[in-house]
Amino acid sequence: MDIFAKNILVSEKLIVILHLTYQIHSYNMERIFRRKLYAKLLEWKRTSNGKSAILVEGARRVGKSTLVELFAQNEYESYILVDFNEASNEVKSLFNNLMNKDFIFLQLQSLYNVVLKERKSVIIFDEVQNCPLARQAIKYLVKDGRFDYIETGSLLSR
């Protein structure tokens, strides 16, 4: 598996994209891949300090979601994983109007039964290509600065 990072400036906010390319499927390569990607995620967390989101993008079924959730469990006090393959219409509709971010965060905490802690929690948008409004909301949520954001997706266009 090959990993490369790409920085994109979107409306004055940097979004770091980690792109995964599936090349070899073996246990040892998978362990090396996970270690490298985990290190990239740690570097992003250390350097961004909430000023950018990160997108982990790549082919389906290569372990993006699993690795990102493991990272959230190990590196944050709490996290919410919003899987847009399974999210309710109630969750998806939260991104229709971004005027009241407090409401969005309270609803997410209530729906997922998780307490988010400012600058100590991460919100993961898994399979974000299935909710274009959430993808568009990222730059505004990052600007708010309370939480970190990780997106995962397959077949995303920028």
Q: Write the pLDDT tens digit of every residue in 99-152.
A: 999 999 999 999 999 999 999 999 999 999 999 999 999 999 999 999 999 999
The predicted pLDDT at position 16 comes to 54
Q: Which residues are within 8 A (CB) of 157 and not within 5 positions of it... i.e. 6 or more apart?
A: none
For residues 80-90, average pLDDT: 97
- What is the CATH code for 2-153? 3.40.50
Cα-based distances in Å from 101 to 8, 69, 120, 130:
24, 23, 17, 21
3-state secondary structure the chain: CEEEEEEEEECCEEEEEEEEECCCCCHHHHHHHHHHHHHHHHHHHHHHCCCEEEEEEECCCCCHHHHHHHHHHHHCCEEEEEECCCCCHHHHHHHHCCCCHHHHHHHHHHHHCCCCCCCCEEEEEECHHHCHHHHHHHHHHHHHCCCEEEEEECCCCC
Q: Write the pLDDT tens digit of every residue in 22-54.
A: 443 444 446 666 788 899 999 999 999 999 999
Residue 3, pLDDT > 50, answer no
Domain ranges of the chain: 2-153
- Token pair for 75: 């590196």
